[in-house]
């Protein structure tokens, strides 16, 4: 396997750059090369010219090589056609193992148990970020390194703005118990409607995958199981991304975090 992978699009690339520039960031993720399709500014385009300047001017500060490239050169590198003329090489990285000292006091975290689809992982990270999550934890056997490009892109680069850790079910529960967090699982058994549940911080929300659900080791340690009540008779379950959206909104609502923010985080 190569020691780097390709990320694409201004959202993903600029998120890594902004995180590198952040003096308070402890991220070990770094770009080695950034590629920009010069045909995007052949005719003066204010938005693309701004992106060009942003990427070029931060090359020295972030330690990557900036390449003025062609459409064909970038097309060979990427897997799709939604890159907008921007791609970058990024070194593979290992996500840190969770420990109690890495957990912030009185905050909100999310654990994805058995959510295997990399698109879903990215979408849930984006959703949880919007509702104030401090960190997302993945199982020890996650495949983030294999699908890192997909996860970063589907999260719109927001994997670079939340803490990411890995943990076994046992480590997860013991670390959050040590920090006196409430463990809440999205599960039907012995559950209460999410809008009737106490979802105040500090809170760990556990969301299960659509095939395997949440492991017994975590369910047995949960303080509370919550469900999403439907408007019509329906025996099925929502996709994990949809469940995350509803539960994330309810958590944000109960903790006073649901406001309209119009400022753009990244280019």
pLDDT in tens, the chain (267 residues): 467 889 988 988 998 898 888 755 555 678 999 999 999 887 667 888 899 999 999 999 999 999 999 999 999 988 777 788 999 998 877 788 999 999 999 999 999 998 989 999 999 999 999 999 999 999 998 877 667 888 988 998 888 888 999 999 999 999 999 999 999 999 988 999 999 999 999 999 999 987 778 999 999 999 999 999 998 988 878 899 999 999 999 999 999 876 655 555 444
Say how far apart CA 244 and CA 226 lie, in whole Å: 12
Question: Which pLDDT belongs to residue 261?
Answer: 53
Question: Which pLDDT belongs to residue 1?
Answer: 47
Q: Could you tell me the two tokens for 159?
A: 């994997």
Say how far apart CA 229 and CA 123 lie, in whole Å: 22
Question: Which pLDDT belongs to residue 266?
Answer: 45
Which neighbouring-strand residues pair with 66? 34
Q: Could you tell me the two tokens for 244?
A: 């995350």
Say how far apart CA 99 and CA 176 lie, in whole Å: 9
Question: Which pLDDT belongs to residue 257?
Answer: 72
Question: Which pLDDT belongs to residue 213?
Answer: 85
Q: Considering only CA atoms, which of 179, 153, 132 is closest in space to residue 88?
A: 153
Residues 6 or more apart in contact with residue 53 via CB below 8 angstroms: none
Say how far apart CA 199 and CA 66 lie, in whole Å: 46
The answer to pTM > 0.85 is no
Q: Could you tell me the two tokens for 51?
A: 């992106």
Q: Could you tell me the two tokens for 178?
A: 């040590």
Q: Considering only CA atoms, which of 123, 99, 101 is closest in space to residue 112?
A: 123
3-class DSSP assignment, residue 66? strand
Q: Are 184 and 172 in contact (CB under 8 A)?
A: no
Size of the chain in residues: 267
**Pairing verdict, β 182-186 and 108-113:** unpaired
Question: Which pLDDT belongs to residue 95?
Answer: 86
Question: Which pLDDT belongs to residue 267?
Answer: 44
Q: How far is CA 18 from CA 14, 62, 133, 178, 185, in A?
A: 6, 9, 19, 32, 33
3-state SS of 194-213? HHHCCCCCCEEEEEEECCCE
Question: Which pLDDT belongs to residue 168?
Answer: 95
């Amino acid at each position: 396997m190569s020691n780097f992978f390709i990320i694409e699009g201004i959202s993903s690339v600029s998120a890594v750059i902004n995180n590198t520039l952040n003096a308070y960031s402890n991220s070990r993720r770094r770009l080695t090369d950034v590629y920009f399709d010069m045909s995007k500014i052949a005719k003066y385009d204010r938005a693309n010219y701004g992106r060009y300047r942003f990427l070029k001017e931060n090359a020295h500060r972030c330690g990557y090589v900036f390449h003025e490239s062609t459409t064909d050169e970038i097309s060979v590198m990427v897997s799709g056609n939604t890159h907008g003329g921007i791609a970058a090489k990024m070194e593979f990285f290992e996500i840190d193992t969770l420990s109690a000292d890495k957990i912030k006091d009185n905050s909100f975290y999310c654990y994805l148990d058995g959510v295997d689809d990399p698109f879903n992982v990215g979408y849930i990270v984006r959703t949880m970020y919007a509702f104030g999550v401090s960190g997302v934890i993945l199982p020890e056997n996650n495949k983030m390194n294999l699908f890192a490009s997909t996860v970063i892109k589907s999260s719109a680069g927001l994997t670079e703005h939340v803490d990411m850790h890995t943990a076994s079910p046992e480590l997860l529960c013991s670390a959050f118990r040590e920090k006196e967090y409430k463990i809440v699982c999205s599960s039907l058994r012995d559950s209460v409607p999410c809008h009737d549940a106490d979802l105040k911080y500090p809170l760990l929300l556990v969301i299960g995958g659509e095939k395997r659900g949440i492991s017994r080791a975590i369910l047995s340690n949960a303080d509370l199981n919550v469900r999403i009540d439907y408007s019509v008779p329906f025996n099925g379950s929502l996709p994990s991304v949809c469940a995350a959206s509803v539960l994330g909104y309810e958590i944000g609502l109960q903790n006073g975090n649901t406001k309209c923010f119009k400022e753009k985080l990244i280019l």
